[in-house]
Chain A
């Protein structure tokens, strides 16, 4: 790594700003594009980091000779996130991907300072200067899996292992119950918060706690098979929410959906290569170019339920079925969404209330 004197740095920044500001691509056509990705955790074969990795692997597959990806894992310290992204940018990486919300604050600070690269942050909140964001409409997936859960539950109690009481999780579990109630109005949902994205021991205990209180379908935000396996050990169903664990638990996993970030990676890369990258916010669910795809269903699911799921999925993709269309009441019975209306994107994204039928609180 060469020593960058201040004058050269400023000169470089001015030049690249002018260059990219005029619409010229940061990468010449014959050059390979260096892309950098930083993972907070370690990449395994399931879970959040796995799907992030699948996205850059898709990039490598699509542009084998034109794109070079540098990947860093296990960058857990928030303090070092800024340093590592900056290092990547200075080392010639023109497109940088953040993979988690906890990197968002650092990227927001960093992106405007480094115009020689473009930044994208998965699970970031809103696009900013030199920073695009993208997130998945998890609720579309959880709504559909909720239908399966509502049909198959015998105790009419569902369980949710809550990672953090953030809107992404809250709207997911709300949609789960709404989907279940669309076919079974008597079903309820109990939620416990483990306050961690990954804590296998606590997740296991959470499943035990939920099952002891009557839940016979377990869902959550699993990053490892531990929740599904715990559910199987307790003799109840599980849902693969943002992960497919059927290879571990067989038919006890009723339904699942997976994440697919490759459209975001590929579109951003394409834009950088063509010189027309703009910071955008992408929030997509099911369908073509979306970030969610429904996955394995249990063979134990009756054909009628499978058909229901297919129909509902098609309706969501077509825009006819909206998971958060009214009437929807919250836990206190107050009408949050009137008949004929639906929640806007920003209302969904800032959701901190639980729908009627959810037992548990949002810790405040």
Chain B
């Protein structure tokens, strides 16, 4: 290859801030190319694609309820990622949050008590944490790779939910369809913005952003976690306990995911289905990376991802394109962002220059 990568003395801040914009620009070009190939006007279609979903109050509400779980989970996962703890089990942890809080919701949803929602929140967090603790403990005690264990547990949780919804939790008035009965009023989050479906649970997301920022930037624990991410050896040498980092890293993700599960069933769904998480656990990982593992970056990345999901839907109505286009563009965005990442820490140099430099040394 005529080019080589040369490590920079210090990460380039210019590239760090510019590369997301660059990635967005490149992805927009790809989107326009797809539109053009489908016989549509590229620029006009792109504008419609991104503005149509949020051109009404209801649309903005939809954006918020779509972005909130993504941001929430991504913030939790990112804390772990920064400490080199790879929680891929978001899906399963969401489901456990649904199961734990769902049990309370189904039994007490019609009680009218104001305690139900806080109870659901606590149980949901507990459920997510417990499920995330399993891979953490397996890693701590048996050195089992948490990527693989958390991934497998996604499936176990999925089948557990199917079992519940097909069996003990099946709605007696639901004609034997695998779904729970609709949750009672006390188990539903009140609407925050009149005229939309946005309920107060969307506030968990900005709250998580603030908490995560405080943890990472202002707390000693956060420092330890990030140090571990930079160099495991150095962190160990400094006495930062690896076990604790692993546990905290996994639990942050688990808690966030569990909470997101509560928000789903207490929000737009209002019922428990087997398909309660449309891939949020995996999408949140993408959002975490798009947001560069930074809480504020994740906030923007989550809104962008959510917008793309909504755009995929409207693409059908206004542009006549299959909704799968959303996923194509999301992946393209990630692809470009990840590709330009390398330029933060490495410079491109012509190979000849490099060998000449070596020859001179």
Contacts and interface: CB of A to CB of B under 8 A. Distances in A.
B313 A83 contact: yes
Contact of B269 (A76, A79, A364): A79
Contacts of A73: 316, 322
A319 interface: no
Nearest to B279: A77
Contact of A352 (B52, B176, B273, B323): B176
A167 B172 CA distance: 12
Interface string A9-23: 100000000000000
Interface stretch (B4-12, B56-64, B140-148, B335-343): B56-64
Contact of B58 (A78, A86, A91): A86
Which of B178, B195, B316 gathers most chain A CB within 10 Å? B316
B278 to A, nearest CB: 5
Given A1-B52, A74-B322, A79-B269, A165 B176 contact: yes
Contacts of A164: 176-178
Given A164-B178, A167-B175, 18 more contacts: A1-B56, A4-B56, A6-B57, A9-B195, A73-B322, A82-B197, A83-B58, A83-B62, A84-B313, A86-B58, A90-B58, A91-B317, A105-B271, A164-B176, A165-B176, A166-B176, A170-B176, A195-B178
B119 interface: no
A75 interface: yes
14 contacts: A74-B316, A74-B322, A74-B324, A78-B269, A78-B275, A79-B269, A82-B197, A83-B313, A91-B317, A101-B177, A164-B177, A164-B178, A195-B162, A363-B166
Contacts of B175: 101, 125, 166-167, 349-350
Contact of B177 (A78, A166, A364): A166
B268 to A, nearest CB: 5
A90 B58 CA distance: 11
Which of B52, B56, B62 gathers most chain A CB within 10 Å? B56
Nearest to B276: A78
Contact of B268 (A75, A82, A90): A82
Interface residues of B, number: 31
Interface of B: 52, 55-58, 62, 162, 166-167, 170, 175-178, 182, 194-195, 197, 268-269, 271, 273, 275, 278, 313-314, 316-317, 322-324
Contacts of B195: 6, 9
A213 interface: no
A90 B195 CA distance: 13
Nearest to A167: B175
A312 B52 CA distance: 55
Interface residues of A, number: 38
A164 B323 CA distance: 27
Contacts of A1: 52, 55-56
Which of A9, A78, A195, A364 gathers most chain B CB within 10 Å? A78
Interface string A72-116: 111111111011101110110000000001000100000000000
Contacts of A83: 58, 62, 197, 313
B323 A167 contact: no
Nearest to A77: B278
A3 interface: yes
Contact of B316 (A9, A72, A86, A352): A72
A362 B178 CA distance: 12
A17 B275 CA distance: 36
Contact of A70 (B58, B317, B323): B317
B114 to A, nearest CB: 23
B72 to A, nearest CB: 16
Given A79-B278, A84-B313, A364-B167, A167 B62 contact: no
A106 to B, nearest CB: 9
A305 B204 CA distance: 66
Interface in A169-225: 170, 195
A363 B182 contact: no
